[in-house]
Amino acid sequence: LSKLHPVHVAQWGTLVMAEEVSKNSARLLLRITLDNESDADAALELVSELTDENGVVVGKASDTLTIAKGIRHETLQEISVADPELWSIERPYLYNIKTEVRLAGKTVDTYDTPYGIRTFCFDAEKGFILNGKQVKINGVCMHHDLGCLGAAVNTRAIERQLEILKEMGCNGIRCAHNPPAPELLELCDRMGFIVMDETFDMWRKKKTAYDYSRYFNEWHERDLTDLIVRDRNHPSIFIWSIGNEVLEQWTDAKADTLSPEEANLVLNFGRSPDMLAREGEMSVNSLLTKKLADMVKKLDPTRPVTAGCNEPNPYNHLFRSGALDVIGFNYHDDWFAGVPRNFPGKPFIVTESVSGLMTRGYYRMPSDSVFLWPERWDKPFYDASFSCSSYDNCHAPWGNRHEGTLRHVKNNDFIGGQYIWTGFDYIGEPTPYGWPARSSYFGIVDLAGFPKDIYYLYQSEWRPDKNVLHLFPHWNWTPGQDIDLWAYYNNADEVELFVNGASQGVRSKGKDDFHVMWRVRYEPGTIKAVSRKGGKVVAEQEISTAGEPAQIRLAPDKSTISADGKDLSFVTVEILDKDGNLCPNAENDVTFAVAGAGFIAGVDNGNPVSLEKFKANHRKAFYGKCLVVLQNNGQSGSIRLTAAADGLKQGAAVVKVN
């Protein structure tokens, strides 16, 4: 709630557009909306100053004007910038435009607009171009919840998610499938992400009984307008999405009377030619698509419009509208190659991809067998494990293995990139299981923020600046059992595996390979992977057989937090043997005690089947790990955390609070 002078910049009242951008100069056009809600005409001075990241003024515009009482007035200003610093993924440089409204020499309103100067385009042949350089969108879709902290916004918790994704090499976020929190966009501006900002998960046709379709006719214009006007100055946003898998893609999807399972069949498998648009037809659904896209382009002429479509046929009613600037597919990898032929001259991105299913720490062998779970939505599915394999060999039937889709994106310039479903696990949609599963298996990172093994596949591909070698799984098995060992690696020609010092052979990736594998007989001891390039060692990793759980290790992600009553420290809790090895099958119940300037905000372990409370002072380990989130209570000093479990040596950690 903002308290304002009657004469002020309107809510979301600035639009900044950069033109004629080069390394030597740029021209910023400012469209500023002013409200005079006083009972008299207002003669005012409008001053806009552009400051760099150090607060130095590098450009200025000033105008005098009179606004009649009770009037909303729009005015234009222009600022020239010499030698602009361009916003990029690697260096997300932010300027600030401070707009002041002055009456009789007195400033009565100040409005700040953070802004990043950059050039970009989506090209039908070369994909995504940022500041003149071809860039792959290596993105993920994200739901809004924050695991054990729930759905309420906490800026530090969002920042932590983005930090973990950035470390993986992720450079893109799709806001699935609703307007995002402003805090997320502000963080993406500062941290360098390519954001797809998405408005609707359904239009007029409903997917479930109580969804947004009930309000669409009355509210879609207001909601779409508010989203675009609110968010259009964020440099991290490069594309608007006006819908996700809306049923208007088809003439009549018949979903209004279907169960969720039956609706999923329609959404992913149940198409027929008579549900598509006819040649030359501009259907009601196509006209609605055009209406929404035209609204966006009027409000923001600087960015393209797309939609997440799971009907890849060019006779999809949304595509037939001609209003989508960028073709967006959800899944349907087998249609990718035909995009240049089916949509000539149109850029293309994968708006949603993969839908791999994984439980951190669980492995189903043989690893070269692929599990399609469930086979179909209308067929009962059950597996006693309530788990999905972390070998990248389990996925939903509409999706693909991570390696499969990555191969398409990597090898085709015309594919601008992808947004993987999903970056983090989230509460809900526990595909392929029902109760008691209560959170997703889709994430590259689990609900607690612990990376699954697939995280390191992407890191090996998306972080050439970092030497990656990730050997998995653990080394606690039944003697004599055949175990599949995988390794993700980069910046090397080969990897050699040793079991208790004995070489198991050297493996190398082919052009379209993303991992190497050995099938070896388990014997307790130590396994070691060594990657080499030109005969020289690049990286090494050892995993030893863990003994019985003996101790607890606590590792805060931040050793110092702010005394603002909001800041968080996420503490990883690990169950170790007496020699310090992680016990990969440990499930000890760990109890926490907190003293000092903080409290427990939540606990988690990444287990999608756990029915333990998120708000508690204890948590069971899941495959050797759990999490406790500490929050400052508004006081300074320190927070002391202790962790105890029956038969184990306690763990302790101290977090400073300033």
Q: Which residues participate in catalysis according to the annotation? A: 245, 352
CA–CA gap between residue 163 and residue 166 (Å, rounded): 5
Which 3-state string (H, E, C) describes 328-351?
Answer: EEECCHHHHHHHHHHCCCCCEEEE
Beta strands across the sheet bearing 568-576: 551-556, 568-576, 625-632, 598-604
Q: Which residues of 578-607 are buried (b: 16+ CB within 10 A; e: fewer)?
A: eeebbbbebbbebebebebbbebbbbbbbb
Q: Which residues contact 55 (CB under 8 A, 6 or more apart)?
A: none
Give the separation between CA 177 and CA 199, rounded to whole angstroms.
6
In single-letter form, the type of residue at position 342 comes to N
Q: Which amino acid is at 50?
A: L
Beta bridge partners of 47: 62, 100
Q: Which helix (H) or strand (E) holds 31?
A: strand 25-36
Q: Please say whether the dihedral angle defined by the alpha carbons of residues 255, 380, 374 and 438, taken in this order, is positive or negative.
A: positive
In angstroms, what is the C-alpha Rg of the chain?
Answer: 27
Q: Write out the H or E segment, with its range, that includes residue 167.
A: helix 155-168
Number of H helices, E strands in the chain: 9, 36
CA 72 centroid distance within chain? 38
